[in-house]
Chains A and B, each alone.
Chain A
Amino acid sequence: MLKINNFSKSYSNSKKAVDNISLEVKPGDIFGFIGHNGAGKTTTIKAAVGILDFEEGEILVNGKSIKSNPIECKKDIAYIPDNPDLYDSLTGIQYLNFIGDIFKVSKEEKESLIKKYSEAFELTKSLGDLISSYSHGMKQKLALISAFIHRPKLLILDEPFVGLDPKAAHILKEFMRELCSEGGAIFFSTHVLEVAEKLCDKIAIIKGGRIVASGDTNTVKGDGSLEEIFMELIDNE
């Protein structure tokens, strides 16, 4: 579903933010992307969803190149950044409607999916309010609903659990599993190692722009905990 081959990215001729990384997220996978601050997670994610241009390497979404066929790729993707800045001047429902229209979701499907997800995230009553009045968590929930309502094949999330209350985090995990059970795939970055350990089938650890460990979660962590492995990899040069 998502294939990153030898991808590198540097900003304004400075050191490489991401250096020759490769990974593959298959249908049904929940893939955790772990790394400390500034390791290159967001850069990789932004390039994968077509926000950031890049020169080196190749990124394929469902077999199509994000570089040469960005529109077709984006039709299959839902992306939520780490701090979703949404259109403050729209109401929640206007924003969902807008995203639904962009992804050409039919009226009936849009209505039923908005109902499903907004009720699950307990946001229905606030949908008529302006987004500017939302708390950080509410914005996060709205962004998540907007991601799910167009039934993406690939869900790419940057730190999705930050700002969510425990119940919402639990519901999100449920929906993530549901999406994958239907053949979708998820690629997300996180700092919460416990979540990654319990939720992800596969993980990759990125350090200084390079992947230092990648594969099935159980294989990567071995007999120890993910936290132990992570600390070991991060501390060792």
Chain B
Amino acid sequence: MSNLKILLKNSIMNNWGVNKFLKEESKSERIKKASIFLVILLSIFSVGMLIVMYSLAIAEQLGQYGYLNLILMSAMILSTMFSFFTSVYKAQGVLFFSRDFETLMSLPIKPSIILASKMIELLLLNYLFVALVTIPPSIVYFMKSNVSIVFFLYLLIGVVFIPLLPIVMAAIIAFAISYISSRMKHKALILNIGTLIAAVIVVIGSFKIDKIINIVIANSASIIEGIKTIYPPSYYFTDALASLNLLSMVKLILWSIIPFILFLIVFGRSFKSINLRLGETFKKSNYKLTTLKTNTLRGALIKKEFKRYFSSSVYVTNTIIGVVLVTVAAVACLIMGGDFMLDQMAQSSDTDIQAIAPLLKQVMQFTPLIILSFGVGLTCTTGSAISIEGKNLWILKSSPLEVKDIFISKIAVNIILLVPAIIFDTIMLAIAFDLTLINFMWTILIPTLLAILVSVGGLLINLYFPKLDWTSEVQVVKQSLSSMISILMGGVLVTVMIFVTMGINKVFAITNVNLYLGAIALLLFLLILLVYILLKTKGEKLFNRLSS
């Protein structure tokens, strides 16, 4: 077996929980894991079916105008963009923050092979989504056109090669950020800021995707040529599938494989040096004993939690992005003024916005509340706070600490990060949107309650789904079940609140908004109480059972 194969097998067995599932002896654990796998599989199938239905509707429209192949092109563009955006995020952790780096480097394996295995690992992580976004619309295309069954062979090859180029581009950005930060003294800080800036640009960019697709659909024939010049692989993919053109398929493969190989050759060497430099720490060895500060027990724990948090750029960038985006949006709103959004709507809509402007302005009084709630809902450090202890858990467990104090210190990090941001953003948004005093107070109160709920809830989720045997922080912060559920929890909570409010409004026709908001605040408060009680009872038991 080649070294690359061995490395890949090892990383799949080790990082993807395959081994754990196969070797699990406890029947209940096996059933639990198999059920989670089934639920995920079912969700993927449901999403796939939804995409098929959606594609069918679009194909109907496009078919009438003879632009059916646009469905293939948009699937390709979407999966390319997704691969790029998510990999910018992931590449950092997979390439540069693996715990196994030194072990791998001590083995007789070329660094470029190690880099290749890491890149393929990154690639594998993307295949699920690429397949999900590309295959259902392609099936619809097959049903609506007269291509032969060979189409599926082309599709399969296409799916294999689509994410290569975007992943190379994402990895180059990760390399650039890591290279710069590896030369700095405050590596973690530079990495945190660099990755956050990249993430903000990426998110702002992703908002433009629908506009691009709209333009593509509106100007089909000429745009196909346009896209060919901007991103040739998408054209070759479409042409290869739609006309079963072998030459286009070869071109697509070359466009994907050549940059990938070039990347491995060029970055194979610096991969090692950057990793080594990132691992280096500035050793002064000139410490002189001076007076020390003494903290209270909780103070000491919170301080330790913050130091741990900010030392991990993967942890920071993945958990703080929601509130950073809201803060960027809040400052942008202040600079451009609240009416800016109204103008934007007026430009992009056929209806006479000015006629309903007073009503819209009233609705916009609650925009800050919704924006902030989503931002807060997505910021959950506690969802990984227990898992991130990993092999350090023994320190907390063997210290004379009440479990309650450990919990409070972990919850405090999220709250201390969020509450000042909520206040700052609300002030910015209040000026921009000219909020009334009562709405200003709701905009502070509800997100604050939400922040507490998300913090307490995240911790409880992490206790139910801990992952202490990680080799890379990415596994905890991005790929663990706990982090996914806790991030989803915030988004789902806010969405449910909005829909319930809308539902009540429709059924009971109550127009007193303050009544709704009061009810939501009360509901959040009760939920906090409930989750806190659960944390005190069940959570403490779960913590005591943990062992790293």
On A, residues with C-beta under 8 Å from B are 12-14, 46, 49-53, 71-75, 77, 79, 81, 85-90, 92-94, 97-104, 106-107, 110-111, 114-115, 118, 124-130, 132-133
The listed residue (B26, B281, B286) touching A133 by CB distance below 8 A is: B281
CB distance from A63 to the nearest CB of B (A): 16
The listed residue (B188, B292, B397, B544) touching A107 by CB distance below 8 A is: B292
Q: Answer yes or no: B351 CB below 8 A from chain A CBs.
A: no
Q: Answer yes or no: B283 CB below 8 A from chain A CBs.
A: yes
Which of these binds chain A: B63-71, B258-266, B303-311, B410-418? B303-311
Q: Answer yes or no: B297 CB below 8 A from chain A CBs.
A: yes
**Contact present for A79 and B304 (CB under 8 Å):** no
- Given A12-B25, A81-B394, A110-B294: A102 and B400 interface contact (C-beta under 8 Å): yes
The listed residue (B292, B301, B400, B402) touching A111 by CB distance below 8 A is: B292
**Contact present for B397 and A50 (CB under 8 Å):** yes
Contact string against A for B residues 509-548, beta-carbon threshold 8 Å, 1 for contact and 0 otherwise: 0000000000000000000000000000000000011010
15 residue pairs of the A-B complex, CB under 8 angstroms, read A12-B26, A51-B397, A51-B547, A52-B547, A72-B400, A77-B398, A85-B394, A86-B395, A93-B292, A94-B307, A97-B292, A97-B294, A101-B297, A126-B287, A133-B280
CB-CB under 8 A from A106, the residues of chain B are 294
The interface centre, meaning the residue of B285, B299, B402 with most chain A CB atoms within 10 A of its CB, is: B285
- Given A85-B391, A101-B294: A125 and B287 interface contact (C-beta under 8 Å): yes
Q: Answer yes or no: B300 CB below 8 A from chain A CBs.
A: yes
CB-CB under 8 A from B284, the residues of chain A are 128-129
A100 to B285, CA, bound (A): 22
**Contact present for B307 and A129 (CB under 8 Å):** no
**Contact present for A124 and B289 (CB under 8 Å):** yes
Q: Which of B288-336 contact A (CB under 8 A)?
A: 288-289, 291-297, 299-301, 303-304, 307-308, 311-312
Give how many B residues have a beta carbon under 8 Å from the other chain's beta carbons: 44
**Contact present for A107 and B287 (CB under 8 Å):** no
CB distance from A138 to the nearest CB of B (A): 11
**Contact present for A129 and B398 (CB under 8 Å):** no
Smallest CB gap from B311: residue in A? A89
CB-CB under 8 A from A93, the residues of chain B are 287, 292
CB distance from B484 to the nearest CB of A (A): 25
**Contact present for B304 and A126 (CB under 8 Å):** no
- Given A12-B25, A46-B547, A86-B392: A118 and B400 interface contact (C-beta under 8 Å): no
**Contact present for A89 and B312 (CB under 8 Å):** yes
- Given A85-B391, A129-B285: A74 and B291 interface contact (C-beta under 8 Å): no
A13 to B304, CA, bound (A): 36
**Contact present for A126 and B400 (CB under 8 Å):** no
Q: Answer yes or no: B147 CB below 8 A from chain A CBs.
A: no
A115 to B290, CA, bound (A): 10
The interface centre, meaning the residue of A50, A89, A107 with most chain B CB atoms within 10 A of its CB, is: A89
Q: Answer yes or no: B346 CB below 8 A from chain A CBs.
A: no
**Contact present for B398 and A74 (CB under 8 Å):** yes
CB distance from B420 to the nearest CB of A (A): 23
Smallest CB gap from B289: residue in A? A115
A230 to B343, CA, bound (A): 86
Smallest CB gap from A76: residue in B? B400
On B, residues with C-beta under 8 Å from A are 25-26, 188, 279-289, 291-297, 299-301, 303-304, 307-308, 311-312, 390-392, 394-395, 397-402, 544-545, 547
A72 to B401, CA, bound (A): 9
**Contact present for B304 and A90 (CB under 8 Å):** yes
Smallest CB gap from A46: residue in B? B547
A111 to B294, CA, bound (A): 10
A72 to B98, CA, bound (A): 38
CB-CB under 8 A from A92, the residues of chain B are 287
The interface centre, meaning the residue of B297, B391, B400, B545 with most chain A CB atoms within 10 A of its CB, is: B400
A59 to B395, CA, bound (A): 20
Smallest CB gap from A126: residue in B? B285
Smallest CB gap from A118: residue in B? B289
Closest 4 A-B residue pairs measured CB to CB? A89-B311, A128-B287, A101-B300, A133-B281
CB distance from B405 to the nearest CB of A (A): 9
CB distance from A175 to the nearest CB of B (A): 18
**Contact present for A87 and B400 (CB under 8 Å):** no
A85 to B470, CA, bound (A): 14
CB-CB under 8 A from B307, the residues of chain A are 87, 89-90, 94
CB-CB under 8 A from B547, the residues of chain A are 46, 51-53
A42 to B440, CA, bound (A): 57
**Contact present for B287 and A111 (CB under 8 Å):** no
CB distance from B531 to the nearest CB of A (A): 24
CB-CB under 8 A from A50, the residues of chain B are 397-398
- Given A85-B392, A87-B392, A102-B297: A114 and B292 interface contact (C-beta under 8 Å): yes
The listed residue (A79, A94, A102, A130) touching B281 by CB distance below 8 A is: A130
Smallest CB gap from A79: residue in B? B398
The interface centre, meaning the residue of B26, B395, B544 with most chain A CB atoms within 10 A of its CB, is: B395
- Given A124-B287, A129-B284, A129-B287: A87 and B304 interface contact (C-beta under 8 Å): yes
Smallest CB gap from A131: residue in B? B281
